[in-house]
Amino acid sequence: MAEEKKKPKRPLGHARLILGKCIACGGRCEAECPKEAVTLNEKGEPVIDFNKCIGCRRCLKVCPASALEMFFTPEEQLVLDELAKTAAQTKTPEPAEEEGQSADVKAKLAQFKGVWVFVEQTESKAEEVSWELLGKGAELAKALNVELSTFVLGENVEALCKESFAYGAAKSYLVDDPVLKHYRTEPYYKAICELINKYKPEIVLMGATPLGRDLAGAVATDLATGLTADCTGLTIGDNRLLLQTRPAFGGNIMATIRTEENRPQMASVRPHVMPMPRKQEGATGVIIREKIAFNENDFLVKILELVDDRKGDGGMDIAGAEVLVAGGRGMLSKDNFKILQALADELGGTIAASRACVEAGWVGVEKQVGQTGKTVRPKIYFACGISGAIQHTVGMQDSELIIAINRDPGAPIFEVATYGIVGDLFKVVPAITARIKELRNQRRK
Ligand SMILES: Cc1cc2nc3c(=O)[nH]c(=O)nc-3n(C[C@H](O)[C@H](O)[C@H](O)COP(=O)(O)OP(=O)(O)OC[C@H]3O[C@@H](n4cnc5c(N)ncnc54)[C@H](O)[C@@H]3O)c2cc1C
């Protein structure tokens, strides 16, 4: 009797680095690896231990620069070729079926198409995070081969639809109504849910601002779909799924979350986490105007008075500042922040701080950078007397230039710094300020 040929096991391979592509993001691949097979070298690039790597591909999925690929030995490649040949001869199940997705769920998901970005506005001025999200949205839409759209709500806000075309949107859904003049959760989320139920986008992105956090939660709850807040990475994985990466467990690991059976897939991203796309003046698109039958009596919240709590220059928002001079516990007191303020004034920036300083009452919480503070992406970030805990660095590691001043040469802040100065900040910071003043005076002469 002929012996039945045993089907070979599909080799999983190993992950490896594509030379020159790593952007030293801070070790998302390292944090994602379930087997501790990834370590970072002194350049911040991954070194993969083949003996530990199980070929799960998680590092590939979270890499923001697509700098990793799968590697198969010649023997493994032969097995793969053989399996591919057999699969071509026999019908293989659809990937979704393979993973247990029912035909009903597949049919439901297939109705949803397109990537939508919420254009958040106050007094008809857009929050910059909306345009940042359009940059990321364009990447996702391209990967899915679908249209990128925005949705704009407010009163007299049509100009924002046009502005969104300049940042890459092809279409903009507009609800322009006096009821939406000032933000209130109820009319906003009801209008958005109506739009989503009618047009069925597969991905909805919103800014993780105070307004966006409030609104996204209400929308996701009403639509009974998933929402991943404060994402730091968004990519498209298998089966058109949005892979939503965010820090978890106090920032100690990066979790990648998928919304497998519900649509739309919703994610929020903090300001300055995604880079701003280039503005294409004059770009055009299609505006879809929608009317929603609002009934003011349905809304519990009424706006009686508006109180503007924006401060003068001293209250510059750290999220939008181009230069930040941040202090940590090494500042020792509230009074010592004066030396940071002097440097910030020289460079037209503002001060920021680690949570340790906020907890000590030296600075206000609006100046806190990090996981439970703000995410910043200034042109220059000075880290003075900050150790560089992961909860701090997740909020500033994407700054264009990081200058760290710390008297401990082993401080982790030096791992994300562009320039590191080992020394006493009370000597180094005033010296930098004095030198800048001197150079400026020389130039004036
Ligand atoms: C859930 C959670 C969320 C958190 N969220 C945040 C957050 O959003 N933001 C945040 O910042 N932290 C956050 N933290 C706290 C974080 O873990 C750290 O405790 C905090 O960032 C430490 O602040 P620091 O670097 O200022 O202080 P330290 O870790 O105490 O570091 C002080 C540094 O100053 C240096 N130093 C001292 N004197 C001098 C001197 N004269 N000259 C030069 N250097 C000097 C020391 O060498 C040291 O490296 C969070 C923690 C948890 C658990």
Report the C-alpha gap between 272 and 376 in whole angstroms: 6
pLDDT at 174 over 60: yes
Q: Please answer whether residues 230 and 270 qualify as being in contact, where contact means their C-beta atoms are separated by less than 8 angstroms.
A: yes
Give 356 Cα–ligand 1 centroid separation in angstroms: 6
Residue 259, beta-bridge partner list: none
* Residue 370 Cβ contacting ligand 1 at under 6 Å: yes
Residue 296, token pair as written in the block: 């003011």
For range 203-229, the mean pLDDT: 96
pLDDT band, residue 444 (cuts 50/70/90):
low
For 136, the enclosing helix (H) or strand (E) is: helix 128-144
Tens digit of pLDDT for each residue in 258-267? 999 999 999 9
Report the C-alpha gap between 331 and 100 in whole angstroms: 56
Residue 292, token pair as written in the block: 């929603």
- pLDDT, position 88: 75
Q: Please answer whether residues 327 and 386 qualify as being in contact, where contact means their C-beta atoms are separated by less than 8 angstroms.
A: yes
pLDDT band, residue 443 (cuts 50/70/90):
low
pLDDT at 13 over 90: no
* Residue 250 Cβ contacting ligand 1 at under 6 Å: yes
Tens digit of pLDDT for each residue in 123-156? 999 999 999 999 999 999 999 999 999 999 999 9
pLDDT band, residue 250 (cuts 50/70/90):
low
Tens digit of pLDDT for each residue in 372-393? 999 999 999 999 999 999 999 9
For range 10-24, the mean pLDDT: 86
Name the residue with tokens 């401080």.
Answer: 411
Give 353 Cα–ligand 1 centroid separation in angstroms: 9
Q: Please answer whether residues 160 and 293 qualify as being in contact, where contact means their C-beta atoms are separated by less than 8 angstroms.
A: no
Name the residue with tokens 């070979």.
Answer: 8
Residue 257: strand, helix, or coil: strand
How would DSSP label each residue in 137-156?
Answer: HHHHHHHHT--EEEEEEESS
Q: What are the C-alpha distances in Å from 329 to residues 173, 343, 378, 407?
A: 47, 18, 21, 12
Average pLDDT, the chain: 90
Q: What are the C-alpha distances in Å from 395 to residues 252, 275, 374, 390?
A: 14, 14, 6, 9
Q: Examine domains 14-90 and 315-444 and report if their fold is the same.
A: no
pLDDT band, residue 305 (cuts 50/70/90):
confident
Burial of 156 (0-12, 13-18, 19+ CB in 10 A): exposed
- pLDDT, position 2: 45
For range 158-184, the mean pLDDT: 97
Residue owning the nearest CA to atom 11 of ligand 1: 354
Q: Please answer whether residues 397 and 416 qualify as being in contact, where contact means their C-beta atoms are separated by less than 8 angstroms.
A: yes
Name the residue with tokens 């939008």.
Answer: 320
Q: Please answer whether residues 37 and 49 qualify as being in contact, where contact means their C-beta atoms are separated by less than 8 angstroms.
A: yes
Give 306 Cα–ligand 1 centroid separation in angstroms: 37
pLDDT at 427 over 70: yes
* Residue 385 Cβ contacting ligand 1 at under 6 Å: yes
Q: Please answer whether residues 53 and 37 qualify as being in contact, where contact means their C-beta atoms are separated by less than 8 angstroms.
A: yes
Query: Of ligand 1's atoms, which has the minimum distance to the CA of residue 370?
Result: 8
Q: Which is higher by pLDDT, 308 or 158?
A: 158
Helices of type H across 200-324: 210-223
pLDDT at 100 over 60: no
For range 335-350, the mean pLDDT: 93
Residue 293, token pair as written in the block: 């039958």
pLDDT at 56 over 90: no
Residue owning the nearest CA to atom 23 of ligand 1: 356
* Residue 425 Cβ contacting ligand 1 at under 6 Å: yes
Give 206 Cα–ligand 1 centroid separation in angstroms: 30
- pLDDT, position 96: 45
- pLDDT, position 76: 85
- pLDDT, position 97: 47
227-231, 413-417, 440-444: which range is least confident on average?
440-444
Name the residue with tokens 């400026």.
Answer: 440
Q: Please answer whether residues 273 and 232 qualify as being in contact, where contact means their C-beta atoms are separated by less than 8 angstroms.
A: yes
Q: Which CATH number fits domain 109-296: 3.10.310.10, 3.40.50.620, 3.40.50.1100, 3.20.20.80?
A: 3.40.50.620
Residue from 359, 363, 387 whose mutation best tests the ligand 1 pocket (most atoms within 8 A of CB)? 387
* Residue 336 Cβ contacting ligand 1 at under 6 Å: no
pLDDT at 54 over 50: yes
- pLDDT, position 314: 55
Report the C-alpha gap between 183 and 209 in whole angstroms: 13
- Domain covering 315-444 in this structure, CATH number: 3.40.50.1220
Report the C-alpha gap between 375 and 397 in whole angstroms: 9
* Residue 329 Cβ contacting ligand 1 at under 6 Å: yes
* Residue 372 Cβ contacting ligand 1 at under 6 Å: yes
For range 198-213, the mean pLDDT: 95
For range 245-270, the mean pLDDT: 88
Residue from 382, 392, 429 whose mutation best tests the ligand 1 pocket (most atoms within 8 A of CB)? 392
Buried b or exposed e, range 103-137, using 16+ CB within 10 angstroms: eeeeeebeebbbbbbbbbbeeeebbebbbbbbbbb
Total length of the chain? 445
Report the C-alpha gap between 392 and 381 in whole angstroms: 13
Instruction: Determine if the pTM surpasses 0.85.
Output: no
Report the C-alpha gap between 423 and 432 in whole angstroms: 12
For range 174-197, the mean pLDDT: 97
Query: Of ligand 1's atoms, which has the minimum distance to the CA of residue 372?
Result: 8
What's the fold here for domain 14-90?
A: Alpha-Beta Plaits (3.30.70)
Q: What percent of the chain has pLDDT over 70?
A: 93
pLDDT band, residue 101 (cuts 50/70/90):
low
Q: What are the C-alpha distances in Å from 352 to residues 361, 366, 421?
A: 13, 9, 19
Going from N- to C-terminal start, the domains of the chain cover 14-90, 109-296, 315-444
pLDDT band, residue 322 (cuts 50/70/90):
confident
* Residue 368 Cβ contacting ligand 1 at under 6 Å: yes
pLDDT band, residue 312 (cuts 50/70/90):
very low
Report the C-alpha gap between 57 and 33 in whole angstroms: 9
- pLDDT, position 60: 87
pLDDT at 115 over 80: yes
66-80, 205-219, 286-300: which range is least confident on average?
66-80
Query: Of ligand 1's atoms, which has the minimum distance to the CA of residue 388?
Result: 25
Residue owning the nearest CA to atom 53 of ligand 1: 250
